[in-house]
Amino acid sequence: MPELPEVETTRRGIATVMPGQILRQLVVHDARLRWPIPDSLPGILRGTRVLACERRGKYLLIRFPHGTLIVHLGMSGSLRRVPLDAPLRKHDHVEWIFDDARFLLHDPRRFGAVLWHPAEAGPIEAHPLLASLGTEPFDPAFTPAHLYAGIHDHRQSIKQLLLAGRVVVGVGNIYASESLYLAGIDPRTPGARISRPRCAKLHAAILATLTQALEAGGSTLRDYVNAQGTPGAYFTLHAAVYERAGQPCPRCGTPIRRIVQGQRATYFCPGCQKR
């Protein structure tokens, strides 16, 4: 699934083109996404100007004067710029057409979403999909103290607490495994057993992992491509533990172990990562 680095990389790509331009046409080729796209949406947006391209968690927010378009890439989707005359591919569901630019939402598994939030419905931050999201990892409000306050009274494993997104958003399955490895914390450790000093290490590891992923343009997993159609390169080159079960730990040589937590694969080093 595209995580925060992939979605932010996509946002940066579309933000260099869309803002200030008038959307000449929104074409819905297949409305059958996670929630059906309403027939009225192309008419609502036709001829309106894009004000900004933002992100909240894994949601892209394309702002217009009269509302905000919420776009989610689903499990394996991408939003990419294509030539004006490029043919459609199978699973190209929605296209945004401007005077000199065209973008396509490609979503083979149809778990993505394109939702309209009109301005009269209130602030976009109050939308049900966004209201319960945790703090953004690069927000100044996300501090070691904030992370500790969010986990210190929970018996749930730290990996599951990170994935829940209530304390901090964007630390999905891949990046959680990598962050916990960098911090030297066993993913099965209950949040309540992580001390303030170890929590500070985890906070630093989360920022370092996500920063490195952003610099490399995300992950190539599940055919992710950015807004220019270019695959990410991060985990192809730099993953220390993710999908490396049985391979030696880069630090101590202990074989990497794979377990399942909450129906998601977790990878860690039994030698380096302590409970």
Tens-place pLDDT, residues 110-164: 999 999 999 999 999 999 999 999 999 999 999 999 999 999 999 999 999 999 9
Residue 108 falls in the annotated catalytic set:
no
**216-268 per-position pLDDT tens digit:** 775 544 444 445 555 444 444 578 999 999 999 999 999 999 999 999 999 99
Which listed residue (2, 5, 137, 187) is catalytic?
2
Residue 229 is predicted with a pLDDT of: 52
Whether the Cβ atoms of residue 43 and residue 192 lie closer than 8 Å to each other: no
What is the structure's pLDDT at 106? 95
pTM: 0.87
CA–CA gap between residue 246 and residue 53 (Å, rounded): 42
Torsion sign, CA atoms 74, 55, 83, 95: positive
Check 3, 6, 8, 178 and give the catalytic one: 3
The answer to whether 241 and 254 are in contact (CB under 8 A) is no
Active site residue 8: no
d(CA 101, CA 94): 14
Catalytic residue among 55, 56, 58, 198: 58
Residue with tokens 């939003």: 79
Q: Which CATH architecture describes the domain 144-268?
A: Orthogonal Bundle (1.10)
| Tens-digit pLDDT profile for residues 44-76 | 999 999 999 999 999 999 999 999 999 999 988
pLDDT tens figures, 172-226: 899 999 999 999 999 999 999 999 999 999 999 999 999 988 887 755 444 444 4
> Considering the domain 4-126 in this protein, what is its CATH number?
3.20.190.10
Instruction: Please state, rounded to an integer, the average pLDDT across all residues of the chain.
Output: 91
pLDDT for the residue 2: 75
* 2 catalytic per annotation: yes
3 a catalytic residue:
yes
pLDDT score for 232: 46
| Domain spans of the chain, in order of start | 4-126, 144-268
DSSP letter (8 states) at residue 190: B
